[in-house]
């Protein structure tokens, strides 16, 4: 894994260090300081898990569990209809993937199989810039551009705030991730496979779709899984463009307002919903955070497994 790994394990090295006792002591102190910095990352994740679980347990204890099945998510009225948020998250994620998977995959095939070196050198930084646009900016774009120019033309009479515009905004944010992970896996496919295909007389189209894409399947699956994880965790696009700031009714209609798990958290933390203290509405923040944490954690592990499989393949 690391280039210095074998140097480090070489026992003669530790004893070979000459010099005064002070020099030895300094080395030990520096090692200890660096180790404590590394352990701090463990502290951070422990604190995350402790605070999420603590708040979530308090929430479950406080509420009547029946309210979790309510027909809407109105935390200030004590209605915690979880299905509303889960449906919202799934809907937004689904819309995002419908946009990001085809666009991301096709871009990846182009960059890996068709593009000249010069095109790659120009296009890749531009994709990086798109990935670096703050999500609140994309939310504003979804609300003021995608919604009136695309959604309201598609279905006249739709309100400014709607889940479709939010989903498309999240999709735009997900394209660079899907493109770069799947491009990496396509470029990892050995040139010998391509050459064999061309040698049999196959064209570029056939080679790309029948040889490279199947050989890169693990990486493409990983790209889609990581894309789902990114889309589920995306907050600000939905918070700005999907409306439903006070709460939302259960809906699976993309032309309606709605909330996702993440947008509900942003909304709980802001404006009229600014809640603090030990109320159930406040504690529900941590319950939602825990749900989100578990979902993305599982997806990321799955994605990691597939990424690793690509690496081992060739």
Partner 1 sequence: MTTATRTLPRTIHKSGGAVWRGVLFHGLLLVALLFSLLILFTLITDVLMRGLPVLQERGADFLTRPTSSSPARSGVAQGIFGTLMMAVFVSVVAFPIGIMTAIYLEEYAPDNRLTRFINVNIRNLAGVPSVVYGLLGLSIFVLALGPLTGGRSMIAGGLTLAALVLPIVIITSAEAIRAVPRSLREAGYGVGASRWEVTRLLVLPNAAPGILTGTVLSLSRALGETAPLLLAGAVLGGFSIGGRSFVEQLFSDYTVLPVTIFDWSRRPQAEFRELTAAAIIILLVITLLANTIAIVLRNRYERSW
Site for partner 1 in 124-143 (CB under 8 A): 125-130, 132-141, 143
What single DSSP character describes residue 123?
H
Residues numbered 258 to 287 that lie near partner 1 (CB under 8 A) are 262, 265-266, 269-271, 285-286
Binding span for partner 1 by CB under 8 A among 13-21, 90-98, 187-195, 251-259 = 13-21
Nearer to partner 1 by Cβ, of 71 and 188: the residue is 188
Closer CB to partner 1, 74 or 287, in the complex: 287
Counting residues that bind partner 1 (by CB under 8 A) gives 98
If one asks whether residue 155 binds partner 1 (CB under 8 A), the answer comes out as no
Q: Which is nearer to partner 1, 69 or 210 (CB)?
A: 210
Where in 214-243 is the site for partner 1 (CB under 8 A)?
A: 229, 232-236, 239-240
Check binding of 5 to partner 1 (CB under 8 A).
Answer: yes
- Rama region for 133: left / alpha / beta (φ>0; ψ in -120 to 50; rest): beta
Q: Is 37 in the site for partner 1 (CB under 8 A)?
A: yes
Which of 52, 151, 221, 225 is the binder for partner 1 (CB under 8 A)? 52
Q: How far apart are CA 202 and CA 193, in angstroms?
A: 12
Task: Give the dihedral of Cα atoms 153, 155, 157, 161; nearest 10 deg.
Answer: -80
User: Per rule CB under 8 A, is residue 116 in the interface with partner 1?
Assistant: no
- Residue 203 interacts with partner 1 (CB under 8 A)? yes
What is the maximum alpha-carbon separation in the chain? 82
Contacts of 164 (CB under 8 A, 6+ apart): 95, 151, 154, 158, 254, 255
State how far the Cα of 307 lies from the Cα of 39, in Å rounded to an integer: 26
Question: Quick check: helix, strand or coil at residue 275?
Answer: coil
Position among 98, 106, 159, 200 found at the interface with partner 1 (CB under 8 A): 106
Q: How many residues does the chain have?
A: 314
Out of 89, 93, 107, 197, which residue is the one contacting partner 1 (CB under 8 A)? 107
CB of 62 to partner 1, least distance (A): 16
One-character DSSP codes across 180-226? HHHHHHHHTS-HHHHHHHHHTT--HHHIIIIIIHHHTHHHHHHHHHH
How far the first Cα of the chain sits from its last, in Å, is 17
The nearest distance, CB 302 to partner 1, in angstroms, is 11
Q: Which of residues 59-98 bind partner 1 (CB under 8 A)?
A: none
C-beta of 192: minimal distance to partner 1 in Å? Answer: 22
State yes or no: residue 147 binds partner 1 (CB under 8 A): no
Which residues, 6+ apart, have CB-to-CB distance to 93 below 8 Å? 167, 170, 228, 231, 232
71 vs 210, beta carbon nearer partner 1: 210
* Identity of the residue, 114 or 314, whose beta carbon is nearer to partner 1 in the bound complex: 114
Nearer to partner 1, 47 or 69 (CB): 47
312 counts as binding partner 1 under rule CB under 8 A: no
- 279, 254, 285: which is closest to 267 by C-alpha? 285
Residue with Cβ nearer partner 1 (80 or 183)? 183
The β-bridge partners of 252 are none
Q: Does 35 bind partner 1 (CB under 8 A)?
A: yes
Angle between helices 280-313 and 163-187 (to 10 degrees): 30
């Amino acid at each position: 894994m690391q280039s210095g790994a074998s140097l480090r394990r070489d026992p003669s090295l530790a004893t070979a260090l000459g010099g005064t006792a002070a020099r030895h002591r300094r080395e030990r102190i520096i090692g200890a300081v660096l180790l404590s910095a590394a352990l701090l990352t463990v502290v951070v994740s422990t604190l995350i898990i402790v605070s999420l679980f603590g708040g979530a347990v308090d929430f479950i204890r406080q509420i009547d569990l029946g309210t979790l099945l309510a027909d809407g998510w109105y935390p200030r009225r004590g209605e915690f209809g979880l299905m509303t948020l889960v449906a919202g998250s799934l809907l937004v994620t689904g819309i995002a993937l419908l946009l990001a998977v085809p666009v991301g995959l096709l871009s990846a095939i182009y960059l890996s199989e068709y593009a000249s070196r010069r095109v790659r050198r120009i296009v890749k930084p531009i994709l990086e810039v798109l990935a670096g646009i703050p999500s609140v900016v994309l939310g504003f774009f979804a609300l003021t551009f995608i919604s009136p120019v695309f959604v309201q033309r598609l279905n006249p009479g739709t309100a400014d705030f709607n889940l479709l515009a939010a989903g498309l905004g999240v999709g735009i944010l997900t394209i660079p991730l899907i493109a770069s992970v799947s491009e990496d896996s396509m470029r990892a496919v050995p040139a010998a496979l391509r050459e064999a295909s061309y040698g049999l007389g196959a064209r570029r189209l056939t080679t790309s779709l029948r040889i490279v894409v199947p050989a890169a399947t693990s990486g493409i699956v990983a790209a889609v899984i990581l894309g789902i994880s990114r889309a589920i965790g995306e907050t600000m696009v939905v918070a700005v463009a999907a409306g439903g700031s006070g709460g939302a009714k259960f809906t699976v209609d993309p032309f309606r307002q709605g909330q996702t798990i993440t947008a509900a958290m942003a909304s709980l933390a802001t404006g009229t919903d600014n809640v603090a203290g030990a109320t159930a509405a406040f504690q529900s923040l941590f319950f939602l955070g825990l749900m989100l944490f578990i979902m993305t954690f599982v997806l990321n592990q799955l994605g990691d497994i597939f990424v690793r499989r690509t690496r081992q393949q060739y």
